[in-house]
Structure 1
Amino acid sequence: MGLGKTIQAIAFLAAVFEKDEESVESTTLKGNHVGKKGPVLIICPTSVIHNWEIEFSRWASFSVSLYHGTNRDLILETLKAGGVEILITSFDTYRIHGSILSEVDWEVVIVDEAHRLKNEKSKLYLACSEIKTRKRIGLTGTVMQNKIMELFNLLDWVAPGSLGSREHFREFYDEPLKHGQRSTAPESFVRKADKRKEHLVAVLRKYMLRRTKEETIGHLMMGKEDNVVFCSMSELQKRVYRSMLQLPDIQCLVNKDLPCSCGSPLKQVECCKRIVPDGIIWPYLHRDNPEGCDSCPYCLVLPCLVKLQQISNHLELIKPNPRDELDKQKKDAEFASAVFGPDVDLVGGNAQSENFMGLSDVKHCGKMQALEKLMFSWASRGDKILLFSYSVRMLDILEKFLIRKGYSFSRLDGSTPSNLRQSLVDDFNSSPSKQVFLISTRAGGLGLNLVSANRVVIFDPNWNPAQDLQAQDRSFRYGQKRHVVVFRLLAAGSFEELVYSRQVYKQQLSNIAVSGKIENRYFEGVQDCKEFQGELFGICNLFRDLSDELFTSKIIELHEKQGKGDGQCSTTKQELPQSGTCFLHPDQAASTTSSACETSDNGDPERITKRKPVLEELGILYTHRNEDIVNNGPGIRKNTEESIPGKDSVNDRPVKRRRKPDDAGGKRNDLSSKDWKKIQYSLLAQFMGMGELEFSNWVLSATPSERENVLRDYKKRKEKMPADG
């Protein structure tokens, strides 16, 4: 993401179509040179159509037309007459009118954001499968998002048959890799998974060119830190959350496999409890069908999860929306009254509030309490912040909060006209007074370059980890001059912990299948396997009450105890108060770190307790860095060359990258760029007489000139060391 896939694709086309300055003149003189090659089709999201058009005008001299909007018929006639070299269209347009375009013999077809082809049953996938061309290229920063089978779908579209049949891929790769990642998998399963992983990576190398920021522009970036922050829900939120879990609708789902109370040998879901006429959500869903639907009661899962997520983020979200139909408003008001119970007056009743002071108050929202203190710390040192949320109603509440606190901000959501979006981005990047950019994750997940921001907040997590990663990368792109720190806010004890745990699971599977990485085996659950649902999968896990336990931290700590046995874990709760200092103002961080370093668990209990409030003052129960949980290091690509079919071919030879010489004259051997940076970072911390954590706090608070002075002194000392030694 953000590495110039668009320009690289244009450069490739310019090369194969000989679109340099000299060939343009010869083409103009000869006239028939271009006719030797057919037209090129580019399918991309609607939001980046004009970006493709602009980049073509900058980098090559093609005749480009947009098959989008009202003039499609005219463009089609020009295309058939040979007057179009590049045709750009959107996913939606191609899904609807693909049958017309599939009649054309295309020279090359490029699909941008190709992960949209992950579902083989979607209309878009079926439409794209009918394209007439032998040269297909997919561009994506996230080749696999949720399941390993998505990887098959994408590769099978690009190179049909390259991975065998769908059933063969599932049995040979998908199942072994998933079961080998289970926390209690037998050693034989783990060994089998390792072999299949290496084999899959070797095959993928023939069809996939993969670049990362670390490998290409890592030396130009200041780095990124991805913090996952578990915020305590307010006491009122906890009561409402538990009240929702006791509703008949959810109890029907949780108890679906228990014996039916009527005395029959059937399960509840097969007998008397298939429908929930005494519920609140079910009757509205089936207002036109009192007997229920074919999916009952599973049709309740998504609506119930939406309500739980709303409670986790802000209680105002579960109240009726005036934009909805009257019947839905009436049902939502009934639902709000049921879950608020005796606390209904504390939240201003069961109708949507228009009270500015009430909506902007953080008293009953745990995430906003933490956000308020974090933003005060960041704003005091001149940081610029991106604040993402999936919910437009949540953006409305956050906007009132920003106004009340006096922050200067911009806002972009689905209602923002496309012709105004770039001006909003440019204004935020160029204006020192703009402190916050409030963005809808759906509208701003792609195509925005907001490199002036160095703090990114994801207010609500998504089931698909790629969505959150796309949002983070709006700031962490080429041109970023500062260290980017990401904060993903989760409601501790809510099902959002399960959402994040599944994100980790999916990211690990992607790393294993695509890059051949070795990942810690945290979870017992196996995706799409009823036998091993473990702690991650199944309806009962979704609607479990986690409010009395830190679900995520327990899983990670249990793994550390089993795997290491020495108690050393970078994410243990004992070390959290100290790690929490990076969330504070530099002055607070310095004093807190020093006091924490002076205490030990063997010391005075009164002194030990001074370490605990560091995160608690921010309303944070637990936090860790995502990169400490998910392996972001290099995979096994360089070790699989011998097992790749066809390596005798010149075109299949791996490209050897030149390594930069070490500053100290030593050899870097096979260390990755990231590992090398970690070593240098540790040496810098020692040079400053600090631990790595304390040094991180100093780096975040230091001015550019202070950092440059330290680097200069460090290099001088390294140059003198051989002579002194």
Structure 2
Amino acid sequence: KEHDWNVEESLLVLQMFSDTGAAKSSCLNFTSSSVKPSSSSSAAQVLSRFASETSIAKKQAEERKRKAQAANKHISSDEEDSGEEDAVSSEYDDSDDELDAKEGAMDAKTAIVTFFQDASLDELSLISGCSIKKAQKIVEMRPYDSWESLWEVFHKENGLSENLVSGCKVVLRERRVVLGLMSKCETISSKMIQRVTKVMESGSGSVKAPSILNSQLEMKPYQLIGLKWLLLLHEHNLSAILADEMGLGKTIQAIAFLAQLYENGIQGPHLITVPSSTLDNWVRELKLWCPSLEVLIYYEHSEHDATPAKHFLCVTDRYSLAIGNDSDRSLFRKLQLQYAIFDEGHMLKNMNTHRYRHLMSINAEHRLLLTGTPLQNNLLELMSLLNFIMPSMFSSSTIQLSKMFSMKSHEEQSSFERDRISQAKLIMKPFILRRVKSEVLKQLPSKEEMVEFCPMSEKQKALYEALLKKLKSTTNGEKRELCNVMMQLRKMANHPLLHRQYYTTEKLQAMSKLMLKEPTHIDANAALIQEDMEVMSDFELHRLCQQYFSISSYQLDKNLLLDSGKFLHLKELLASLKSRGDRVVLFSQFTMMLDIVEVLLKHLDHRYVRLDGSTPIAERIVLIDEYNTDPDIFLFLLSTRAGGLGINLTSANVVILHDIDCNPYNDKQAEDRCHRVGQTRTVKVIKLISQGSIEDGILQLGNKKLKLEQDMTAADQGGEGTVPEDIASLLKASLGL
């Protein structure tokens, strides 16, 4: 079949955009030897892209010739740059062709001009060597309405290097790689959407629970649909993310899925990686639902350990192996696993972390992620999850992805990122199953949420205002410093004893000298003892006085221990709840705050148990069982992070959040320890907020995030020692910065 393109005109266009003499020569040689009037000709595919624009390009060629010759040496051709971008695999070379076909006449130079004209400061900063100051200069020099006007700016003595133009080409190439990859993913996704829709609409009637499950237990209809969905994706050799709302039995669905694989002759081995707090619960559920499965509990590698490969299923709490033991990581890279299941796998939402990369290196044919939090409008999370679902597609391009996208709020995202967010969500639709309780559990008791604003005590309020005044005068607004500011304000809003106010320098000097009377400190240096004391809080120093007889007279008065606005409120609240026969789970972010709460509970004579990150794994399930089976235990004290995952406390019907988390979904996780399958009473969630403090703003931001279903996981997403942008803005407003 004859083509309608003109070889001579097309060659002119190719020569105009070639970067070196060698490239021109290769184009000419390629044309003379390879151009044939055949639809399969690769040359035809390249040249046909320019067919519609050849006449325009020909007219522009002369007037642009001088500028093009000067500029071309700074822009590498599409066939080069392989040394700069090791992560771009030849497997995806055709993604540029796909993009060019869509863009038509949008050539490289036009794309560069458009980028410099429209890009935000953040986008310009993606260019290698482009600082914020240079990005601001580029914006100031706008508009750029042609290649010549752009190149003229980058030749002036204005601090802008021509290398930035070359760097822009790299950024645009990386974007084309992403577009090409997502196009391939979209093709796979579109094929699955109809099949998944059919499965979901057909209901649970056509699927039965595996016969090896405990016959005395019954899966709920929505759980059978989840099993059916997992089996469908398995049949098509695809990984999955089960994201049902917390409390809907993701554990049971995963166990049923493994049982069905076992019945189908798939003998494993499989690996389930879980947080330490949920390990015992997983083991218990496995024994309860499917006792015939051979399960190995793996703690850490040892020469004498049983080999996971010899078992059908291995369960480990070794999320920490991703950043710790080399032998553990080596073992799981060598094992040929069928399924790697990650429970509460929030660390798989950020490909920039070492933990993510190590977990992704586990050698498994398929992956299943269990998470109770929804997707957020954040491109790095979405791309991290896409990489999790389709690792073979993205394995060579994670460097570009992590470099291009960061955890930004919706307001900060570029139009390119917002478009990719919509595309990524569409792609992942068939691979993610999320149901909420209101949809599938009509019989589940309701959950009532209330906020109790607690006026600070007079002393506490005075101390808070003094601290705020001090921070205003000493803080410069840097994000790392703001992290410390937020922590200081939150601690004072909760209890003054989390700071050092009452133990003055004079008192510490006297105490340090008295400590020399202790047998353990006879040979110590008083100055060094005082130095250690100066970094301790009032409550820590109070406990020190309880520990050593020589300074016991310096213990704080009981009134100071109980002097907090929240404690005044708790005293009445707990008495009211106890009189009605309610049972309470109380969460706090701070383990030291739990220590002070214990003082209050002992003073009020309330029975309680406690679990936090320091509680040994073996003791956790014992404490949970003790609370669930002994109705005389009124309270369960938990740290939000350690006790907010995978723990079943349906024997309680009241959740008190003594201090809220900056990430509202961490609090949601905590609430759902009680509001889940098995609960028979209405659950009350009570948030305690210190009135007129930083907590007011945190509460408002949290409510906004919940409405948008956006997760604020600052620990992983913002990086250690930083705060999210909206929290930073709140702090700056509070400090008047």
**Matching of residue 319 in structure 1 with residue 509 in structure 2:** no
Q: Residue 329 of structure 1 aligns with which residue?
A: 533
Q: Give the whole-Å Cα distance in 1 for the aligned partners of 2:420 and 2:361.
A: 31
CA 1:203–1:430: 2 relative to 1, 3 Å: same
What does residue 365 of structure 1 align with?
A: 564
SS in 2 for 1:225: strand
Letter in 2 for 1:73: E
**2:385 counterpart letter in structure 1:** L
Match of 2:288 in 1: 58
**Cα deviation 1:640-679 (Å, max 9, x = unaligned):** xxxxxxxxxxxxxxxxxxxxxxxxxxxxxxxxxxxxxxxx
- Equivalent residue for 2:573, pick from 371, 374, 381: 374
What is residue 31 of structure 2 aligned with on the other side?
none
**Residue of structure 1 aligned with 2:680, choices 478, 481, 486:** 481
Say whether the 8 Å CA contact 1:501–1:536 is kept in structure 2. no
Of the candidates 296, 304, 313, which is equivalent to residue 86 of structure 1?
Answer: 313
The alpha-carbon deviation at position 58 of structure 1 amounts to: 3.0
Provide closer, same or farther for how the CA distance between residues 329 and 505 of structure 1 changes in structure 2, counting only shifts above 3 A.
farther
Aligned position for 1:347: none
Aligned residue identity for 1:87: C
Q: Is the 8 A contact 2:494 2:659 kept in 1?
A: yes
- Asked if 1:73 is matched to 2:300, the reply is no
2:361 aligned residue (113, 130, 138): 130
2:225 is matched with: none
Query: What residue identity is the alignment partner of 2:475?
Result: L
1:310 maps to 491
- Measured after TM superposition, the shift of residue 445 of structure 1 is 1.5
| More helix, by proportion | 2
Residue of structure 1 in register with 2:463 after alignment? 240
Partner of 1:220: 443
Q: Secondary structure at the match of 1:501?
A: helix
Contact persistence 2:500–2:538 (CA under 8 A)? no
Deviation of the 1:132 alpha carbon: 2.5
Q: Secondary structure at the match of 1:246?
A: helix
Whether the 8 Å contact between 1:146 and 1:464 is mirrored in structure 2 is: no
The one of the two structures with greater contact order (alpha-carbon pairs below 8 A, sep at least 6) is 1
Aligned to 1:456: 655
| Equivalent residue for 2:269, pick from 39, 43, 48 | 39
Alpha-carbon spacing, 1:194–1:125, altered in 2? closer, same or farther (3 Å) = closer
Question: Which piece of structure 1 moves more, 225-234 or 164-173?
Answer: 164-173
* Deviation at residue 391 of structure 1 after TM alignment: 1.8
Indicate conservation of the 8 Å contact 2:409/2:725, yes or no: no
AA aligned opposite 1:55: E
| Distance in 2 separating the partners of 1:17 and 1:335 | 55
Shift of 1:54: 3.0
Q: Residue 298 and residue 171 in structure 1: after superposition, are their counterparts in 2 closer, same or farther (change >3 A)? A: closer
Shift of 1:308: 1.4
- Aligned equivalents of 1:145, 1:356: Cα separation in 2: 48
> Is 1:204 matched with 2:428?
yes
Residue deviations 1:262-294 (CA, integer Å, cap 9, x gap)? xxxxxxxxxxxxxxxxxxxxxxxxxxxxxxxxx
C-alpha displacement of 1:160:
3.0
- Distance in 1 (alpha carbons) for counterparts of 2:319 and 2:330: 13
**Following superposition of structure 1 onto structure 2, how do residues 97-112 of structure 1 map, counting pairs within 5 Å?**
97-112=328-343
- Going from structure 1 to structure 2, the CA distance change for 1:232 and 1:353 (only over 3 Å counts) comes to farther
Aligned equivalent of 1:557: none
The answer to whether the Cα contact below 8 Å between 2:337 and 2:363 also exists between their aligned partners in 1 is yes
What's the CA shift for 1:202? 3.0
2:537, 2:408 → 1: CA distance?
45
Q: What SS does structure 2 have at the residue aligned with 1:228?
A: strand
Displacement of 1:125 in angstroms is 0.7
Per the alignment, in what secondary structure is the counterpart of residue 709 of structure 2? helix
Taking a change above 3 Å as real, the CA distance of residues 176 and 385 of structure 1, as seen in their structure-2 partners, is: closer
100-109 vs 148-157, which deviates more?
Answer: 148-157
Q: Which residue of 2 aligns with 1:152?
A: 383
Report the Cα distance in structure 2 between the residues aligned to 1:175 and 1:446, rounded to whole angstroms: 26
1:252 aligns with 474
Q: Which stretch of the first structure deviates more once superposed, 306-315 or 236-245? A: 236-245
Letter in 1 for 2:534: K
Measured in 2, the distance between the counterparts of 1:396 and 1:336 equals 10
Structure 1 unaligned spans of 5+: 20-32, 182-188, 257-296, 338-349, 514-526, 547-725
Once the two structures are superposed, residues 191-229 of structure 1 have per-residue CA deviations (whole angstroms, 9 ceiling, x without a partner) of: x99987765543221210112222222x22111122233
> What SS does the aligned partner of 2:336 have?
coil
CA 1:427/1:101 → structure 2, altered by over 3 Å: closer, same or farther?
closer
The aligned residue for residue 267 of structure 1 is none
Instruction: Give a deviation string over 1:465-501, Cα, whole Å, max 9, x none.
Output: 2221111111111111111110111222222223223
What is the SS of the residue equivalent to 1:452? coil
Normalised TM-score (structure 1): 0.54
Contact 1:389 1:395 in 2 (8 A): yes
- Give me the whole-angstrom Cα distance separating, in 2, the residues matched to 1:177 and 1:300: 24
Call closer, same or farther: CA 1:122–1:326 in 2, change over 3 Å: farther
Any gaps of 5 or more consecutive residues in structure 2? 1-245, 509-514, 516-527, 542-550, 713-717
For 2:384 and 2:533, the matched residues in 1 are separated by 41
Distance in 1 between residues matched to 2:350 and 2:553, nearest whole Å? 38
Q: Residues 325 and 451 (structure 1 numbering): CA distance in 2 closer, same or farther, change over 3 Å?
A: farther
Structure 1 Cα separation of the partners of residues 429 and 282 of structure 2: 27
Structure 2 CA distance for partners of 1:170 and 1:487, relative to 1, 3 Å: farther
Offset of residue 307 of structure 1 = 1.9
- Secondary structure class of the residue paired with 2:430: coil
| C-alpha spacing 1:126/1:542, structure 2 compared with 1 (3 Å) | farther
Identity %: 33
CA contact (8 A) 1:535 1:541 kept: no
Computing the radius of gyration over CA atoms, which structure comes out larger, 1 or 2? Answer: 2
Q: Determine if contact 1:106/1:133 at 8 Å carries over to the other structure.
A: yes
Q: Contact 2:329–2:358 at 8 Å: present in 1 too?
A: yes
Looking at structure 2, the residues matched to 335 and 377 of structure 1 have their Cα atoms a distance apart, in angstroms, of 28
For 2:729 and 2:552, how far apart are their aligned partners in 1? 34
Equivalences for residues 159-178 of structure 1 within 5 A: 159-160=390-391, 177-178=410-411
Moved more, 54-63 or 82-91: 54-63
Aligned residue in 1 for 2:15? none
Query: Structure 1 residue 150: deviation in Å?
Result: 2.4
Q: Distance in 2 between matches of 1:145 and 1:173?
A: 13
- Does the 8 A contact of 1:39 with 1:107 survive in 2? yes
Mapped partners of 1:152, 1:353: distance in 2 = 56
Distance (Å, rounded) in 1 between the aligned partners of 2:725 and 2:315: 46
1:314 and 1:482 map into 2 onto residues whose CA distance is 32
Contact 1:316–1:353 (CA<8 Å) still a contact in 2? no
How many angstroms does 1:111 deviate by?
0.9
Shift of 1:373: 2.2
Whether the aligned pair in 1 keeps the contact of 2:379 and 2:421 (CA below 8 Å) is no
Aligned residues: 444
- The alignment yields a C-alpha RMSD, in angstroms, of 4.1
